[in-house]
Structure 1
Amino acid sequence: MSDGPNTRPGASTTTNAGRPVSSDEHSLSVGRDGPVVLHDAYLIEKMAHFNRERVPERVVHAKGGGAYGTFRVTGDVREFTRADVFQPGRETPLLARFSSVAGEMGSPDTWRDPRGFALKFYTRHGNYDLVGNNTPVFFMRDPQKFQDFIRSQKRDPRTGLRDHTMQWDYWSLSPESAHQVTWLMGDRGIPRNWRRMDGFGSHTYMWVNAEGRRVWVKYHFLTDQGNDFLPQAEADLLAGQDADFYRRDLSTAIERGDHPSWTLKVQIMPAEDAADYRFNPFDLTKVWPHADYPLIEVGRMTLKENPENHHIHVEQAAFEPSNLVPGIGPSPDKMLLARMFSYPDAHRYRIGVNYDELPPNRPRVPVRSYAKDGRMRSFAPDTAAPYHPNSFGGPDAGEQTGVDEASWPVEAGELVREAYSAHRDDDDFVQPRALIRDVMDDAARERLVSNIAGHMSSVADHGVLTRALKYWRDVDSDIGERVAAALNGG
């Protein structure tokens, strides 16, 4: 995406204010060998900017890459949602960012880790953001635990080293993690590249149709390139050879005209099914079986254009699940509801209060917001006066149509701190056990055992190791015994 004219060959260097520069190589000094002077404005500008040219990296999803493209609707889901982006025949520009969850900015792409799959649709009703991973579930169902979980996956503050003991200590004390850990330790834990992995909205969302009828929905972006993975040994080799393997693969594929695509399919649950479904449908550690709610095709996402500047368009991209458009709303998923606050709050800290004016975040439609001033504001909102109500023709929310907040679900009863209410299959081990027994073949199960044992081999605490082995025996007794055997009896 272009930000301005390209530099002409032979053009003169300028300061950031556009003034021609006298020299790119020599500082202004007192005599040839004297001290440099404070009024060398270009030298001071370069040094000052260099000291400030990094923004804080993301606490999670720090390492990533992305591209621009389009989403074209190929199905007809009007009976479920009136969201303009999903109406028949509609084509909408978008930005996609793929990432690793736990690694830092400089970490190798091919470490075993969930992969982020974040999309920003530039719709006719403003930006619609969908954040997810390459797995349909997550490690927990309650946001109270998220910060602790992430710290267990980061570096040990005493040594500054990644520590598998911390990871298995947390996982084995949190049995709800079993489904996601089974995905992570399986083949999907290290995709062949970003183009060869699926993406999932993971959370449950709400769709509202033109008549106001609500349904619950889950998003599945299925790669048209075919799923593929890296065996652990090959991933380890690539981590040393090319830490940017995924980022390079996406960029070079698009540059040579090999435009990757994903087909979006959704699962639809009638709103009334949720109350007595066999497990809580808003539990982020669970999937909806396709036999109960089959996949319905919506459209195809194709990535066609590499960013002209990685920092501007990828590092400053700000995705937030609170960016919803008419026809789409949240569900009672506690993780989703907490992220609706957490994500924009992270952007305000990391890249500034007016982050939504930056090129990748700027809507493609007029903005009429009563927000004013703040750091780095560059556009005057189209409001006539900076307050509401006003007498000068400013916008009025009461005159807008197509806003669905009145349809958003509000749980009845008192505010409480408690686990999800019990449904028949609200068990932390049912779905990872089914993933192992019903989805994986013998070869995939063998790789799963090898990956788990390899990952657990560096766990230093015997109590943690014993508990982690019980964790896998609870998931599947055979897998647990095979892991124990691979660890020489645990």
Structure 2
Amino acid sequence: MSTNNKTLTTSWGAPVGDNQNSMTAGSRGPTLIQDVHLLEKLAHFNRERVPERVVHAKGAGAHGYFEVTNDLTGFTKAKFLSEVGKRTPLFIRFSTVAGELGSADTVRDPRGFAVKFYTEEGNYDLVGNNTPVFFIRDAIKFPDFIHTQKRHPQTHLKNPNAVWDFWSLSPESLHQVTILMSDRGIPATFRHMNGYGSHTFKWVNAEGQAVWVKYHFKTEQGIKNLDVNLAAKLAGENPDYHTEDLFNAIENSDFPAWKLYVQIMPLEDANTYRFDPFDVTKVWSQKDYPLIEVGRMVLNRNPQNYFAEVEQATFSPGSFVPGIEASPDKMLQGRLFAYSDAHRYRVGANHNTLPINRPQAEVHHYQRDGQMRADNNGGGSVYYEPNSLGGPTESPQNKPLPFEVSGEANSVGYDHDDHYTQPGDLYRLLSEEERERLVENIVSSMKPVEKDEIKHRQIGHWYKADPEFGQRIAEGLGLSVPQGV
């Protein structure tokens, strides 16, 4: 590995002591706002592109509704889930991750799967992907990761050297990379893929009892993926293939639908489960925590104006409603800040007043002024709190459930570092034909990498996941498995 004597610093020149782990209260957190290096990285990253989204720039959206099909009030007091048959309007945005606004729909990339529920208690945003895991598990690494997916600053070309260098130095990415390089890496359409909340969240019921949950949207259209050659052909002939397919399906009353399920874990299991349940690079076994049906999502109305609805739609995993709360997931903790901050920069401080983002519930707060304030700005009402003039007041019954924290405030990683079991299990679940395509996709992606050092390092990760897996990739690259793996 190459070395240098340059010390990483903040933008004001102070040396950075840890660029891999955000500062948390104990190993599980939560993340501390005093980690100014983390906040600076995320805030600066959100302002690197104007005006399209830094990530998830290319997307399509639709309106629809969510209908509850199972009574889960024993687990959450969220009112939009309070009774079977209850319907809540929603808006969804699908997207690719790395490409620009004009990029092709059919590239190999995760797909964003962001749902905005317009509930009577305010908007609830569930902002996930079409995969149950992610490449990294700490938000402090997110700007660096996305930089590798973007263009080289000199050539302005995509850079496989950066992609594989980062992944090979971040073994936690192995599970997501395996999924990305599999058949699921190129969905046939937005309608023919699943969606996931990916993170672990907390549900709280009316009695103040809590559980951990993970969300799974299962497509009723069935899983379908694209052959790599057909995907490449479509990228040239119809780069808006997925956008067109979604619009036409809804226009022709072929309304896409998904069943929503959750996995539910008792709070105490988080301390003993064989993988850290807050690590977004890992899944929970469905044998341990089976899927429980929640409801059904149906998309039945196209936007009338792409910019006003799809482009100006803003989603944040920090938009909760009573009964749904955050977990100590370090990637989620960073996103709670970063997403809304991105919207304040890209769309404006008053982005939630736009029609596509405006809650259907009444809004009462003391936020005033700012660019593009299009409502009456609170009129002449009281503009501070506390006050004795009848202004809106807090409701203590809606405070988040208290939780214990322990340990030293320090930049530390997760306690568990097994990055190989789950991708190895996934490989062994595939048919021989699926394995062949997976290996071919990986080999094809890694061949342009210039340094054998990077290739060997990544081969070592594949080999640790499954020896056959690593050997086949090594052979495809004309290399050998590194000694001592």
Seen in structure 2, the aligned counterparts of structure 1 residues 381 and 328 have a Cα distance that, compared at 3 Å, is farther
2-structure distance, mates of 1:308, 1:457: 44
**Residue 208 of structure 2 aligns with which residue?**
212
- For the pair 1:469 / 2:469, whether they are aligned, the reply is no
**Residue 39 of structure 1 aligns with which residue?**
none
**Residue 7 of structure 1 aligns with which residue?**
none
**Residue 434 of structure 1 aligns with which residue?**
425
Aligned length, in residue pairs: 430
Counterpart AA for 1:428: H
Contact 2:420–2:461 (Cα < 8 Å) also in 1: no
2-structure distance, mates of 1:274, 1:292: 12
**Residue 367 of structure 1 aligns with which residue?**
363
Structure with max Cα Rg: 1
Q: State the secondary structure of the residue aligned to 1:156.
A: coil
The alignment yields a C-alpha RMSD, in angstroms, of 1.4
**Residue 229 of structure 2 aligns with which residue?**
233
Contact 1:332–1:411 (Cα < 8 Å) also in 2: no
Contact 1:55–1:351 (Cα < 8 Å) also in 2: no
**Residue 482 of structure 1 aligns with which residue?**
472
2-structure distance, mates of 1:411, 1:207: 18
2-structure distance, mates of 1:206, 1:216: 5
**Residue 238 of structure 2 aligns with which residue?**
242
Q: 1:410-445 deviations in whole A, cap 9, x for unaligned?
A: 5223322111124xxx400110001111x3111111
Counterpart AA for 1:435: L
Q: 1:205-250 deviations in whole A, cap 9, x for unaligned?
A: 0000111001000000000000010011111111111111110000
TM value normalised by structure 1: 0.86
Contact 1:383–1:395 (Cα < 8 Å) also in 2: no
Q: 1:140-198 deviations in whole A, cap 9, x for unaligned?
A: 11111111111111111110000111111110111100000000001111000100000
Contact 1:331–1:408 (Cα < 8 Å) also in 2: no
**Residue 413 of structure 2 aligns with which residue?**
419
Query: Structure 2 matches for 1:374-453, cutoff 5 A?
Result: 374-379=370-375, 380-381=377-378, 384-397=381-394, 400=395, 402-405=397-400, 407-422=401-416, 426-437=417-428, 439-453=429-443
Q: 1:371-405 deviations in whole A, cap 9, x for unaligned?
A: 011111122348931111233321111xx265142
User: 452-461 or 169-178, which moves further after superposition?
Assistant: 452-461
Counterpart AA for 1:415: A
In the TM superposition, residue 470 of structure 1 has moved relative to its aligned partner by 1.8
Seen in structure 2, the aligned counterparts of structure 1 residues 345 and 392 have a Cα distance that, compared at 3 Å, is same
In the TM superposition, residue 294 of structure 1 has moved relative to its aligned partner by 0.2
- For the pair 1:80 / 2:71, whether they are aligned, the reply is no
Counterpart AA for 1:411: V
Contact 2:191–2:221 (Cα < 8 Å) also in 1: yes
The one of 158, 162, 184 aligned to 1:162: 158
Contact 1:138–1:284 (Cα < 8 Å) also in 2: yes
Q: Which runs of 5+ in 2 are unaligned?
A: 1-48, 481-485
Seen in structure 2, the aligned counterparts of structure 1 residues 365 and 171 have a Cα distance that, compared at 3 Å, is same
**Percent identical across equivalent pairs?**
54
Contact 1:369–1:383 (Cα < 8 Å) also in 2: no
In the TM superposition, residue 479 of structure 1 has moved relative to its aligned partner by 1.3
Q: State the secondary structure of the residue aligned to 1:469.
A: helix
Seen in structure 2, the aligned counterparts of structure 1 residues 358 and 139 have a Cα distance that, compared at 3 Å, is same
In the TM superposition, residue 489 of structure 1 has moved relative to its aligned partner by 3.5
Q: State the secondary structure of the residue aligned to 1:375.
A: coil
1-structure distance, mates of 2:60, 2:302: 10
Highest relative contact order (Cα 8 Å, sep 6+), 1 or 2?
Answer: 2
In the TM superposition, residue 295 of structure 1 has moved relative to its aligned partner by 0.2
2-structure distance, mates of 1:479, 1:237: 29
User: 87-96 or 113-122, which moves further after superposition?
Assistant: 87-96
**Residue 10 of structure 1 aligns with which residue?**
none
**Residue 120 of structure 2 aligns with which residue?**
124
Q: State the secondary structure of the residue aligned to 2:411.
A: coil
User: 213-222 or 445-454, which moves further after superposition?
Assistant: 445-454
Seen in structure 2, the aligned counterparts of structure 1 residues 64 and 410 have a Cα distance that, compared at 3 Å, is farther
In the TM superposition, residue 275 of structure 1 has moved relative to its aligned partner by 1.0
**Residue 194 of structure 2 aligns with which residue?**
198
Contact 1:266–1:296 (Cα < 8 Å) also in 2: yes
In the TM superposition, residue 472 of structure 1 has moved relative to its aligned partner by 1.6
2-structure distance, mates of 1:382, 1:443: 65
2-structure distance, mates of 1:321, 1:409: 19
Q: State the secondary structure of the residue aligned to 1:416.
A: strand
**Residue 343 of structure 2 aligns with which residue?**
347
Q: State the secondary structure of the residue aligned to 2:71.
A: coil
Contact 1:84–1:125 (Cα < 8 Å) also in 2: yes
In the TM superposition, residue 408 of structure 1 has moved relative to its aligned partner by 4.7
Seen in structure 2, the aligned counterparts of structure 1 residues 74 and 165 have a Cα distance that, compared at 3 Å, is same
The one of 436, 442, 447 aligned to 1:457: 447
Q: State the secondary structure of the residue aligned to 1:359.
A: coil
TM value normalised by structure 2: 0.87
In the TM superposition, residue 487 of structure 1 has moved relative to its aligned partner by 2.2
User: 229-238 or 468-477, which moves further after superposition?
Assistant: 468-477
- For the pair 1:357 / 2:375, whether they are aligned, the reply is no
The one of 26, 45, 56 aligned to 1:61: 56
Q: State the secondary structure of the residue aligned to 1:464.
A: helix
